[in-house]
């Protein structure tokens, strides 16, 4: 049954969503049908298609009582919009249907598991969240909330766990046929933890163990966890709030954390390595799925709570997802590459090899705002350059710059002059490792964003830009001398050819 609140959201998006011209959106990055979007939710395979839900407030371009928006795709590039899936229409989720996951049930239905939020007064009289876990079951379009929600509440927490910060279940079906979920929680030391639950009858879950916790080292509350096996390692993702910077690895504020280790059902998760997931400005709350061919694919909110103040004026949608990325672990590091399906949309290759750059230059055929380009930069001899800059989305007033300094091994992403109306955080620097003296930058542009993949996926950095579309020049600049190779493809979505 569709509640009045859900029907209202569906009517609203059907009426106003189509008002947004296609050219005002990215061509292949997910945006909300109308209004506001944050975290990806329920990224999963259902009946042979990939479904994606998202944190959604259709009625304005600000965060508000959370709904779940919904789309699906066959190739991660072309998406079909579906009607709003969940609305805050029950007493237990009246303040919002927060983030969660989805899974296909053995009987062919789809289960959505989310955090239901209501507000209640605490002992000081202040209103605060009560966060519980809830489920809804449906057919890939319409979902019925379970009559006995919530299925997990304060009584299911381990000692010291907070019922105010207990959210973002990511659910999957284990090899043993059981359902499992990881859920973010705040512990008695005020910092985050990830809890593991196992499904029991009637959608209820039993607490298995705490998988890992921050101990105030990697931020405070741990949001949006994910837990999966990849290339011989057990991987735990989480998005911590209030991180402290650690060198160039983690920056202050809302960060992302990839913990790698092993998992033993008897003894739990043993953490071996820690790294950031994305080194750019706009990336948060990633979620993964396992594709039928075994690939682990990740999508994330290409935005960050610390940068949401940088809205363009007149924006009828706000919030984008990253391009879905294939994950792997190589030499103990998390690698990310754009999904290979993107390659089916490449057109008109432009290739330049062994071009000597000294000062600033452009290259014939190399410009645009919707493209897939790889630039390889190598010194002419030892110490031949002090820095190399790749200028993107450039005109007389604007550019977005990637700058590499070989002596420091630092790549800097700078979008100070990329059309954002506020002086929010605009630069981020991170360490990269040259290979045989070379660095390789694969850049994906899609009208309002830049995603960079360094050295075949060793590091990724994402940022939104709002530079006017006419600013489409690309230039190469060196202090000293470098040799570059450039391979550039336009991305074209008009022909109807699918990957």
Closer residue to ligand FRU (CB): 310 or 419 = 310
Would the CA dihedral through 130, 137, 235, 409 be positive or negative? negative
Q: How far is the CB of 171 from ligand FRU (least distance, A)?
A: 14
* CB of 66 or CB of 113, closer to ligand FRU: 66
Residues contacting 246, CB < 8 A, separation 6+: none
Interatomic CA distance for residues 182 and 213, integer angstroms = 13
Q: Closest distance between ligand FRU and the C-beta of residue 387, in Å?
A: 35
CA atoms within 13 A on the CB side of 214: 30
Dist CA 52 CA 66 (whole Å): 15
Distance (Å, whole) CA 204 – CA 293: 31
Smallest separation, CB 223 to ligand FRU (Å): 4
Closest approach, Cβ 463 to ligand FRU, in A, equals 18
Chain position whose Cβ is nearest to ligand FRU = 98
The CA distance from 256 to 497, in Å, is 35
The residue among 115 and 234 lying less far from ligand FRU, judged by its C-beta, is 115
CA atoms of 280 and 257, how far apart (whole Å)? 13
Report, in Å, the least distance between residue 417 CB and ligand FRU: 28
Q: Toward ligand FRU, which CB reaches closer, 71 or 484? A: 71
- CB nearer ligand FRU, residue 6 or residue 224: 224
In angstroms, the CA 119 to CA 131 distance is 9
- Residue 250 vs 284, nearer CB to ligand FRU: 284
In the complex, the residues that contact ligand FRU under the rule CB under 6 A are 38-39, 55, 66, 98-99, 115, 167-168, 223-224, 284-285
Q: How far is the CB of 55 from ligand FRU (least distance, A)?
A: 4
Tokens 């350059």 correspond to 385
User: 292 by DSSP, 3-state: which?
Assistant: coil
Q: Angle CA(178)–CA(181)–CA(187) in degrees, nearest 5?
A: 140
CB of 39 to ligand FRU, least distance (A): 5
The 3-state secondary structure of 46-92 reads ECCEEEEEEEEECCCCCCCCEEEEEEEECCCCCEEEEEEEECCCCHH
Of 186 and 389, which CB lies nearer to ligand FRU in the complex structure?
A: 186
Q: Is 172 helix (H, G, I), strand (E, B) or coil?
A: strand
**Two structure tokens written together for 247:** 């060198």
Q: Which of 39, 129, 165, 446 is catalytic?
A: 39
The whole-angstrom separation of Cα 176 and Cα 159 is 28
Q: What are phi and psi of 473, to 5 degrees?
A: -75, 150
- Cα–Cα dist 181/100, whole Å: 10
Q: How far is the CB of 221 from ligand FRU (least distance, A)?
A: 8
Residue 472 is among the residues annotated as catalytic for this protein: no
Q: How far is 443 from 353, CA to CA, in rounded Å?
A: 17
Using the minimum distance from each CB to ligand FRU, give the nearer residue, 64 or 480. Answer: 64
Q: How far is CA 108 from CA 46, 75, 76, 406, in A?
A: 8, 21, 22, 54
Handedness of CA 276, 277, 281, 285 (dihedral sign): negative
Least distance CB 188 / ligand FRU (angstroms) = 20
Name the nearest CA neighbour of 195 among 159, 232, 234, 229: 159
Q: Which helix (H) or strand (E) holds 4?
A: helix 4-16
CA distance 195 to 168: 11
- Residue 168 or 477 having the CB closest to ligand FRU: 168
The residues carrying an active-site annotation are 39
């Amino acid at each position: 049954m569709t509640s009045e609140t859900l029907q209202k959201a569906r009517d609203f998006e059907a009426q106003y969503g189509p008002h947004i011209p296609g050219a005002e959106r990215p061509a292949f990055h997910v945006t909300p049908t109308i209004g506001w979007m944050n975290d990806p939710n329920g990224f999963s395979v259902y009946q042979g298609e990939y479904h994606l839900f998202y944190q959604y407030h259709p009625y304005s371009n600000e965060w508000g009582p959370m709904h779940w928006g919904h789309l699906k795709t066959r190739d991660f590039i072309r998406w079909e919009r579906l009607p709003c899936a969940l609305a805050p229409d029950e007493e237990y989720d009246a303040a919002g249907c927060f983030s969660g996951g989805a899974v296909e049930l053995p009987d062919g239905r789809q289960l959505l598991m989310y955090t239901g939020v209501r507000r209640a007064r605490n002992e000081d009289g202040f209103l605060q969240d009560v966060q519980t876990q809830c489920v809804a079951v449906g057919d890939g379009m319409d979902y019925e909330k379970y009559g006995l929600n919530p299925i997990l509440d304060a009584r299911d927490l381990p000692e010291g766990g907070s019922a105010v910060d207990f959210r973002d279940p990511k659910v999957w079906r284990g090899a043993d046929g059981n359902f499992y979920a990881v859920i973010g929680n705040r512990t008695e030391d005020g910092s985050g933890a990830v809890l593991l639950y196992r499904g029991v009858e009637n959608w209820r879950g039993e607490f298995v163990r705490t998988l890992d916790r921050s101990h105030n080292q990697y931020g405070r509350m741990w949001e949006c966890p994910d837990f999966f096996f990849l290339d011989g390692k057990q991987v735990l993702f989480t998005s911590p709030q209030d991180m402290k910077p650690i060198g160039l690895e983690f920056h202050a504020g809302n960060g992302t954390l990839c913990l790698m280790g092993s998992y033993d059902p008897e003894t739990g998760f043993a953490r071996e390595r820690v790294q950031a997931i994305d080194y750019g400005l706009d990336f948060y709350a990633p979620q993964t799925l396992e594709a039928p061919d075994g690939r682990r694919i990740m999508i994330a909110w290409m935005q960050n709570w610390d940068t949401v103040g940088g809205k363009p004026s007149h924006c009828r949608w706000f919030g984008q997802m990253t391009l879905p990325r294939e994950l792997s672990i190589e030499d103990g590091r998390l690698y990310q590459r754009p999904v290979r399906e993107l390659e089916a949309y490449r057109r008109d290759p432009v290739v330049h090899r062994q071009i000597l750059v000294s000062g600033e230059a452009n290259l014939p055929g190399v410009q645009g705002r919707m493209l897939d380009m790889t630039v390889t930069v190598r010194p002419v001899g030892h110490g031949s350059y002090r820095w190399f800059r790749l200028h993107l989305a450039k005109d007389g007033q604007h550019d977005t710059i990637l700058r590499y300094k070989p002596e420091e091994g630092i790549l800097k992403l700078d979008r100070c002059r990329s059309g954002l109306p506020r002086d929010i955080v605009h630069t981020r620097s991170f360490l990269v490792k040259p290979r045989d003296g070379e660095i390789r930058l694969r850049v994906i542009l899609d009208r309002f964003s830049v995603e960079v993949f360094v050295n075949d996926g060793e590091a990724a950095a994402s940022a939104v830009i709002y530079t006017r579309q006419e600013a489409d020049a690309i230039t190469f600049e060196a202090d000293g001398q470098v040799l570059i190779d450039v391979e550039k493809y336009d991305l074209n979505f008009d022909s109807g050819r699918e990957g």
